C-alpha cells in the first residue's frame, strides 16, 4: 500500500507540474516544489509593512500596473540601464519604490529556501493579496504558475493604463481588453481606498475644469476647498495626498461612500457615480461592504490571469530586476 501511495503522490506531482505548461494557473502549483512559498512571502511583506505603511498601496498599485502592460509577468520590475523599461515610462515613474522593494525582499526570502522555483510574477501576485489583508481587507486564494516575462519596454506602456480623466466608456474599453467587466472595473477601482496621488494628477478639477466652471461641479464644494488647501496652485507636483480622505489606511468600502458624497479624487473615480449605468453598483458597494469584498476578490483573481506566461513562454527570474539572459 505504501508503494501505491508513493506512486499516487508522484503522479499528482507530475499533473501539477504539467498543469502549468498549458497556461493553467493553480492554487497549489508549488505544493511539491516550494510548499511554504505563501508563508515565506507573507512574512517578508509583514516585515516590510512594519517599516512603512506605503508598502500596502505601493505593492497593490504595482500589481495593477504590471498586469495591464504585457500581462501579470513582473515586466514592470525590470530595471534598464538605458532607462527604456516599463518602469521608466512617465506614468510608472510615480510607482513608490517600496512596492518594488517588497517584491525584491520577498524574492530573496523565497530564493533562500526554494532557489530557481518561484517566479517574481507569482511573488507579486501573492504580495498583492497579502497587503490587502494587512489593511483589513478580504483574504483569497491566489492562483499560481506564472513565469516572468521576457519583454519590458517603456514604449509599450502608452495607452494601456487608465488615466485620471477617463470617462466610463474609456474605462470599460480598457478593462474589457483584459476580459474584465464593468462590474470588475468598479470593484477594482475600490483599491483607491488606499494610497495617495500627486497634486498634478487632479489639479485641473479644482483650478481649470472648464472656462465657465474652474472647479468640477461634481466635486463636493467643501472637499474642493480641502484639495485647494493641500494643493495650492503651482505647488510642487510631487506633493501627494490621500486618495480616500476618510480612512486612507484601511481597506474598506469608504471609497464608494466618498463617491456618493462627491469626494472622488479623480474624474475617473467620480464618473462611476455620476454615470447612471454604473451608479447602482457604486450605491450597492457603498451600502454593503460584504458585496464589495466579494466582488473585489473575484475581480482580483480575474486580473491575475491577464496575459500570464507559462511553460517556455517565460522564465523564472533569479533577480526580479533583470532578465536571466
Q: Is 210 annotated as a binding residue?
A: no
**Residues tagged active-site:** 65
Q: Is 275 annotated as a binding residue?
A: no
What kind and span of H or E run contains 196? strand 196-198
Can you tell me the distance from the alpha carbon of 15 to that of 187, in angstroms, rounded to the nearest whole number?
34
Please list, in sequence order, all residues whose beta carbon lies within 8 angstroms of the beta carbon of residue 250, skipping any fewer than 6 positions away.
135, 136, 193, 194
Q: Is 33 annotated as a binding residue?
A: no
Q: Is 22 annotated as a binding residue?
A: no
Q: Is 122 annotated as a binding residue?
A: no
Q: Is 269 annotated as a binding residue?
A: no
Q: Is 325 annotated as a binding residue?
A: no
Reference 101, options 119, 85, 120; nearest CA is 120
Q: Is 247 annotated as a binding residue?
A: yes
Can you tell me the distance from the alpha carbon of 109 to that of 60, in angstroms, rounded to the nearest whole number?
20
8 A C-beta contact, residue 216 and residue 207: no
Can you tell me the distance from the alpha carbon of 183 to that of 296, in angstroms, rounded to the nearest whole number?
9
Q: Is 192 annotated as a binding residue?
A: yes
Q: How far is CA 105 from the centre of its chain?
A: 18
User: What count of other Cβ atoms lies within 10 Å of the Cβ of residue 214?
Assistant: 13
Tell me if residue 191 falls in helix, strand or coil.
helix
DSSP readout, 90-156?
Answer: GGGTTS-HHHHHHHHHHHHHHHHHSTTTS-HHHHHHHHHHHHHHHTT----PPPB--BB-S---GGG
Which residue stretches of the chain are H helix?
A: 2-19, 37-51, 55-67, 97-113, 120-134, 168-176, 182-189, 204-207, 221-230, 254-260, 267-274, 276-287, 289-303
What angle, 0 to 180 degrees and rounded to 10, lies between the N-to-C axes of helices 182-189 and 276-287?
Answer: 50
Q: Is 66 annotated as a binding residue?
A: yes
The three cell numbers of residue 38 are 505563501
Binding-site residues for substrate sit at 162
Binding-site residues sit at 66, 69, 71, 73, 75, 86, 162, 192-193, 244, 247, 252
Binding-site residues for Ca(2+) sit at 66, 69, 71, 73, 75, 86, 193, 244, 247, 252
Amino acid at each position: 500500500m505504501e508503494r501505491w501511495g508513493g506512486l499516487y503522490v508522484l503522479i499528482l506531482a507530475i499533473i501539477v507540474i504539467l498543469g502549468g505548461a498549458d497556461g493553467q494557473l493553480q492554487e497549489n502549483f508549488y505544493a511539491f516544489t516550494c510548499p511554504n512559498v505563501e508563508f515565506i512571502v507573507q512574512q517578508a511583506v509583514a516585515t516590510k509593512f512594519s517599516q512603512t505603511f506605503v508598502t500596502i498601496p505601493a505593492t497593490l498599485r504595482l500589481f495593477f500596473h504590471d498586469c495591464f502592460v504585457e500581462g501579470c509577468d513582473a515586466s514592470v520590475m525590470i530595471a534598464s540601464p538605458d532607462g527604456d523599461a516599463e518602469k521608466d515610462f512617465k506614468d510608472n515613474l510615480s510607482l513608490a519604490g517600496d512596492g518594488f522593494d517588497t517584491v525584491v525582499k520577498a524574492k530573496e526570502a523565497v530564493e533562500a529556501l526554494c532557489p530557481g522555483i518561484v517566479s517574481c510574477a507569482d511573488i507579486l501576485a501573492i504580495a498583492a493579496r497579502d497587503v490587502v489583508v494587512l489593511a483589513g481587507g478580504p483574504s483569497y486564494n491566489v492562483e499560481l504558475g506564472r513565469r516572468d516575462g521576457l519583454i519590458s519596454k517603456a514604449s509599450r506602456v502608452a495607452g494601456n493604463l487608465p488615466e485620471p480623466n477617463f470617462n466610463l466608456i474609456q474605462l470599460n474599453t480598457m478593462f474589457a481588453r483584459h476580459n474584465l467587466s464593468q462590474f470588475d472595473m468598479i470593484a477594482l477601482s475600490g483599491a483607491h481606498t488606499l494610497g495617495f496621488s500627486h497634486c498634478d494628477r487632479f489639479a485641473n478639477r479644482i483650478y481649470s475644469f472648464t472656462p465657465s466652471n474652474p472647479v468640477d461641479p461634481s466635486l463636493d464644494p467643501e472637499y474642493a476647498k480641502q484639495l485647494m488647501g493641500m494643493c495650492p496652485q503651482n505647488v510642487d507636483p510631487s506633493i501627494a495626498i490621500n486618495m480616500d480622505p476618510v480612512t486612507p489606511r484601511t481597506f474598506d468600502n469608504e471609497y464608494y461612500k466618498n463617491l456618493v458624497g462627491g469626494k472622488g479624487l479623480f474624474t475617473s473615480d467620480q464618473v462611476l457615480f455620476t454615470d447612471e449605468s454604473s451608479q447602482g453598483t457604486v450605491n450597492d458597494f457603498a451600502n454593503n461592504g460584504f458585496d464589495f469584498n466579494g466582488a473585489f476578490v473575484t475581480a482580483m483573481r480575474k486580473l491575475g490571469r491577464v496575459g500570464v506566461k507559462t511553460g517556455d513562454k517565460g522564465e523564472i527570474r533569479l533577480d526580479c530586476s533583470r532578465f536571466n539572459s
